[in-house]
Amino acid sequence: MSSLERRRAIVTGAAQGLGRAFAEALADAGAAVAACDVDPDVATLSAATVAQVADVTDPGAVRRFVDAAADRLGGVDIVVNNAGVVRQTAPTADDWDKAVDDFDAVVGVNLRGAYLIGRAAIPHLIRGGGDLVNITTDHIHTCGYPEAVDHSDAADCRWAGTRRPAVGNATFDVYDASKWGLKGLTSVWALALAEHGVRVNSFGMGTTETPMILAHLKRKGAPRPANLMSAERVAQILIELIAEGPEGRSGDSVQVWPGHPCVLPPVSLDGELAGLSVSVPS
């Protein structure tokens, strides 16, 4: 049997890039997949049993998609909150209208959308246990924070000679805030759902070869990095994380970075502390 045989998965933002790679990897591992995106190209995802155009910022669309997925698949026990957008922002230069529009667009998808999908799916997840994975970023968990990572096998990492802080840069105030908020949801949901056998983890990655990242680099006028990670390889780490099963980690911040081995890392400080928290009465 495949590692995820007979599991039922939802993947958001699955028309292209990492979301598409996640959906295809889940299907290859034996799971039945329901996928959504605002991009109509989601309909071309042959790995999905259900492929629906849906905006994760719209509560009605989210409920219709999640309920249709649960009905068609016979339940839901894996959720991958992948839908996301990135915009560069300039706190000292953006005009008011742009500041408001950027906030609504980025937080609307990255945080509100993940919240809505999670809340719609949780009633299905707690029926038999499962996995909820929130896709974050290396801006919240770096190779220097919260723990300094050994660079003995990562000489190509641009941060090999210094300790990298947990931030993108000065042009990511809204994006980073949305992803830190998603990390907060992960931590609280891990506590709230532990008694129901639902594991909740965040999974972040550095620059990965996807249309979104390539378009972002083009807008910046930045050169293509030499060590972009493969979306397909990153997707295999997601499969390994989910395949840990009911006894696996929860509340963890799983992270991979360019220039480092692209493998499922051991449980991080976040996961260790989350495990202690679950055992302490509230």
Q: In Å, how far are 29, 119, 134, 178, 250 from 113, measured between CA atoms?
A: 26, 10, 11, 11, 21
- From 259, 39, 269, select the one nearest 157 (Cα to Cα): 259
Q: What are phi and psi of 47, to 5 degrees?
A: -75, -15
282 residues of the chain, pLDDT tens digit each:
478 999 999 999 999 999 999 999 999 999 999 999 999 999 999 999 999 999 999 999 999 999 999 999 999 999 999 999 999 999 999 999 999 999 999 999 999 999 999 999 999 999 999 999 999 999 999 999 999 999 999 998 999 999 999 999 999 999 999 999 999 999 999 999 999 999 999 999 998 888 877 777 777 787 877 788 999 999 999 999 999 999 999 999 999 999 999 999 999 999 999 999 876 544
Domain architecture of the chain: domains with CATH: 8-278 (3.40.50.720)
What is the Cα–Cα distance from 61 to 165, expressed in whole angstroms? 37
How does strand 50-53 pair with strand 32-37?
parallel
Q: Are 31 and 78 in contact (CB under 8 A)?
A: yes
Q: Are 234 and 253 in contact (CB under 8 A)?
A: no
Q: Is 0.85 topped by the overall pTM? A: yes
- Strand order, beta sheet including 50-53: 50-53, 32-37, 8-12, 78-81, 130-135, 198-205, 253-256
Structural tokens at position 221: 């006028």
